[in-house]
Amino acid sequence: MGVVIPLEENRNPQASIAPLLELVHQDMALVNQLILSKTGSDVAMIPEVAKHLIDSGGKRLRPMLTLAAATMCNYDGKHHVTLAASVEFMHTATLLHDDVVDESDMRRGKKSARMVWGNQASVLVGDFLLGQAFRMMVDAGSMAALGVLSNAAAVIAEGEVMQLAAAQSMETTEDDYLAVIRAKTAALFSAAAEVGPILAGSEKPVQDAFRSYGVNLGLAFQLVDDALDYGGSKQALGKNTGDDFREGKITLPVLLCYRRGNEEDRAFWRDAMEKGSSDDIALGRAMQLMEQHGAISATISRARHYGQIARDALAPLPASPHKEALLEVVEFCISRVN
Amino acid sequence: MGVVIPLEENRNPQASIAPLLELVHQDMALVNQLILSKTGSDVAMIPEVAKHLIDSGGKRLRPMLTLAAATMCNYDGKHHVTLAASVEFMHTATLLHDDVVDESDMRRGKKSARMVWGNQASVLVGDFLLGQAFRMMVDAGSMAALGVLSNAAAVIAEGEVMQLAAAQSMETTEDDYLAVIRAKTAALFSAAAEVGPILAGSEKPVQDAFRSYGVNLGLAFQLVDDALDYGGSKQALGKNTGDDFREGKITLPVLLCYRRGNEEDRAFWRDAMEKGSSDDIALGRAMQLMEQHGAISATISRARHYGQIARDALAPLPASPHKEALLEVVEFCISRVN
């Protein structure tokens, strides 16, 4: 007897980020202004590279989390704008360094910064944006928020090294992989959400709720991203199907497919991911194996699990438009896989 | 009538870093312990890479400045140890990223980290150390110190981009070059010294004095480093004579030599530095031109100028063993050129 996983539970293919954007759009305008002003530099290359990334169609989900969380906790100052911008700078710095480390040619459907300005500029402009992020955190004046965000900065980098050092083996367990994405993706979602109640001076259970919401939303977001790489259209994600595969990046769909396959399948995955035999013919076989073993739907099912934890984390908090919008963001992150 | 530059003024070839080390050695033992504990990670590559750099014979001048400045200002807490370690982490992170950007093979006479572990690990472990540095600053609990150090982080990166973007031309002026090293080297010396009086709650003129001491010591230090590249022995500096030349790095000795030379000389420098014709034969000619135009002694004369400003910056402060040691460090930085 098999177990039927209720894939359709809570599914809302119309789920959107729009209600959140609508609620925070005035503050986001201030965040965008601040971002522009803080990428200014007499060194012309800095605003050029930063603008390339910042204009390239990211959803700015992370700063919106900070804004919505702060407002939902009745914060009435202006420092949530400063921290939201610093969160986006941390994210942008990470993208710049990631592209260098992964030797990526494309980012959101555009040439990556390193392809336009070189690896050197990507490393250094990333460092500059990180420095600016910390400057802004100091401006915001909350030592507790600084603690959360500086912790995230170290954890993110640790996660990246973990992935570089240990996770490039097909023997990586699902737990190992989760530890990597918990650090490299979920930690910033978590910090972005948590600094809202911290600024507002909310009680610890409220802080904890937002932290849990953030980390689980981040896990769901990353797992869906992993799934999209083997099934999303180029248009939907702004990256080509199979980018992770071609880069030999071992993600959860690959790990599940490897475990569920036979010896011959496993040899194929080892060749493709560990030895770099990942051309378009191999990608075709990979997609076929994913289909055969239900690896994509299993990955989305995992994402849905973390999404549910994120929803329940916010459950004790009083009803509000912001809460509704944050719950819908969970659905949006999962349903964008269509 | 020419002006004779008194090159020998205040010269003390026996000047040493030893008195400073002696005064701060108990605190430095705590800094070293903290550094070791904060490079710890379950991700094995992080302590390996960090240890490689940290063990590789740096003088740890910057954290010693923080310790000495704090003690000289009668600080009696423990946070100067935390900030000193965070300053060294910022420096180490910069070295890791620098080696990637400059494509350096060697660092202090050892293989650079990127040659052992690759560019990817160097970028990411650098990010991790920077994250840890900020965590430690938060631990130290001084928002003012955080402001100074986060400002330095952004300025350092900005200086590196400036060098990458604008300074790779022989038309770079001495002022442009100074702006680069003021940002990429002197800013951290300055911040390292300034956070001492900040922790101690000293008055603004005292803070200003240490900041001025730090920035000018940093300028002198970098200019002597530039000179050593064309005249120091491999043993003395732990790098090969001509490393900067081979990497096409335009430093003050080169800029002075270019300006003082004739058209033929200038064509040689453009070929060597801008077009990469910098083999060992070219290095021989470069050294001969440096000699002919007095470019090394002029660079050291410039260094001595900034060293004098550093000394005078501390002049108003009361006499103490720490002050004497900090003044001797200025002489040490300049006289190590022998």
Domain count of chain B? 1
Kindly report the number of other CB atoms within 10 A of residue B36's CB atom: 14
Task: Tell me the backbone φ, ψ of residue A110, rounded to 5 degrees.
Answer: -115, 160
What would the pLDDT profile of B267-281 be if each residue is shown by its tens digit? 999 999 988 888 889
Q: Is residue B4 part of a domain?
A: no
User: How far B283 CA lies from chain A's nearest CA (Å)?
Assistant: 25
Give pLDDT, residue A239: 55
CATH value at residue B111: 1.10.600.10
User: How far A129 CA lies from chain B's nearest CA (Å)?
Assistant: 7
Rounded Cα–Cα distance for residues B270 and B257 (Å): 12
Partner-chain contact A158 B41, CB within 8 Å: yes
Using the predicted structure, report yes or no on whether residue A54 has a pLDDT greater than 70.
Answer: yes
Count contacts between A and B (CB, < 8 Å). Answer: 144
Partner-chain contact B97 A124, CB within 8 Å: yes
Using the predicted structure, report yes or no on whether residue A124 has a pLDDT greater than 90.
Answer: yes
Partner-chain contact B158 A128, CB within 8 Å: yes
Q: Say what the pTM is.
A: 0.92
Set of chain B residues whose Cβ sits within 8 Å of the Cβ of A143: 138, 141, 143
Q: Mark B192-220 as b/e (b = at least 16 C-beta within 10 Å).
A: bbbbbbbbbebeeebbebbbbbbbbbbbb
Q: Is residue A9 part of a domain?
A: no
What would the pLDDT profile of A192-230 be if each residue is shown by its tens digit? 999 999 999 999 999 999 999 999 999 999 999 999 999
Answer whether B119 touches A (CB < 8 Å).
yes
Read off the pLDDT band of B166 (50, 70, 90). low
Domain span at residue B73 reads 18-335
Using the predicted structure, report yes or no on whether residue A238 has a pLDDT greater than 80.
Answer: no
Partner-chain contact A124 B130, CB within 8 Å: no
Residue B86 to residues A207, A317, B81: CA-CA distances in angstroms? Answer: 28, 39, 9
Answer whether B248 touches A (CB < 8 Å).
no
Q: Is residue A11 part of a domain?
A: no
Q: Which residue has the higher pLDDT, B121 or B237?
A: B121
Give pLDDT, residue B240: 66
Using the predicted structure, report yes or no on whether residue B203 has a pLDDT greater than 80.
Answer: yes
What would the pLDDT profile of A126-151 be if each residue is shown by its tens digit? 999 999 999 999 999 999 999 999 99
What would the pLDDT profile of A275-298 be if each residue is shown by its tens digit? 888 888 999 999 999 999 999 999
Q: Is residue B236 part of a domain?
A: yes
Query: Pairing mode, if any, of strands B106-107 and A110-111?
Result: unpaired
What would the pLDDT profile of B78-103 be if each residue is shown by its tens digit? 999 999 999 999 999 999 999 998 88
Read off the pLDDT band of A231 (50, 70, 90). confident
For residue B132, give the chain A residue with the closest CA.
Answer: A154
Answer whether A119 touches B (CB < 8 Å).
yes
- Which run of H or of E encompasses B45? helix B45-54
Query: What are the DSSP calls for A225-281, one per residue?
Result: HHHHTTTS-HHHHSS-TTHHHHTT---HHHHHHHHHS-HHHHHHHIIIIIS----HH
Set of chain A residues whose Cβ sits within 8 Å of the Cβ of B127: 97, 130, 153, 156-157, 160
DSSP state at residue B107: E
Residue A86 to residues A22, A75, A135, B62, B175: CA-CA distances in angstroms? Answer: 21, 18, 8, 28, 32
Query: Pairing mode, if any, of strands A110-111 and A106-107?
Result: antiparallel
Residue of B158, B169, B172, B184 best to disrupt the A interface, most CBs of A under 10 A: B158
Give pLDDT, residue B144: 98
Q: Is residue A106 part of a domain?
A: yes
Q: Residues 62-101, chain A: which have Cβ within 8 Å of B?
A: 97, 100-101
Q: Is residue A2 part of a domain?
A: no
Give pLDDT, residue A210: 98
Answer whether B141 touches A (CB < 8 Å).
yes
Q: Is residue A1 part of a domain?
A: no
Q: Is residue A68 part of a domain?
A: yes
Q: In this complex, which of A128, A146, A157 lies closest to B138 when CB atoms are compared?
A: A146
